[in-house]
Amino acid sequence: MLDISSIPHINAVLNAATVVLLWIARRHVKAGNITAHKKTMIAALSVSMVFMGFYLVYHFNSGLARFGGEGFIRPVYFTILIVHVIGAVAIVPLVPWAVYHAVKNNRATHKRIVKWAWPIWFFVAVSGVLVYTMAVHVWPCTGPCLASGLSLPGR
């Protein structure tokens, strides 16, 4: 049986895999290999769907990992987190919209959408790994910053 506390670690690996897949997919399209671009993007979409599943299960069951850093690092962390969340909300309609136009072979529209969708998605995946590393490994919350009833991932 899967331990709920291991989900943030799994999700960080899935985010890292998305970063790599998005990068490879971008390189394929630059090299003119559309078939490979399509396959890599389908892989990135599949990984992201598994991520979403785990993300929802975790947040409905466990809550949030609290950030334990103090001083200048707090506004840095929360700025990254807020931009990450805004980006994550933005890609929910943008990515399916990009896929729709790719499937319909509306290349010009696909290109217009992905001009925004690809960098936002890439940033969301990179910043996902970053906030995980900051909150879980570098500045974990111990003691009073831990709200009652919330358990830290991996503890």
State the Cα–Cα distance between residues 48 and 133, nearest whole angstrom: 19
Q: Which of residues 88-117 bind ligand HEM (CB under 6 A)?
A: 95, 98-99, 102, 107, 110-111, 114, 117
User: By three-state DSSP, how is residue 20 classified?
Assistant: helix
Phi, psi of 67 (to 5 degrees): -85, 130
Nearer CB in complex with ligand HEM: 58/118: 118
Minimum Å distance from CB 89 to ligand HEM?
15
Nearer CB in complex with ligand HEM: 78/116: 116
State the Cα–Cα distance between residues 153 and 57, nearest whole angstrom: 13
Write out the DSSP string of 52-85.
HHHHHHHHHHT--PPB---TTHHHHHHHHHHHHH
Q: Which of residues 34-93 bind ligand HEM (CB under 6 A)?
A: 34, 37-38, 41-42
Binding site for ligand HEM (CB under 6 A): 26, 29, 34, 37-38, 41-42, 95, 98-99, 102, 107, 110-111, 114, 117-118, 121
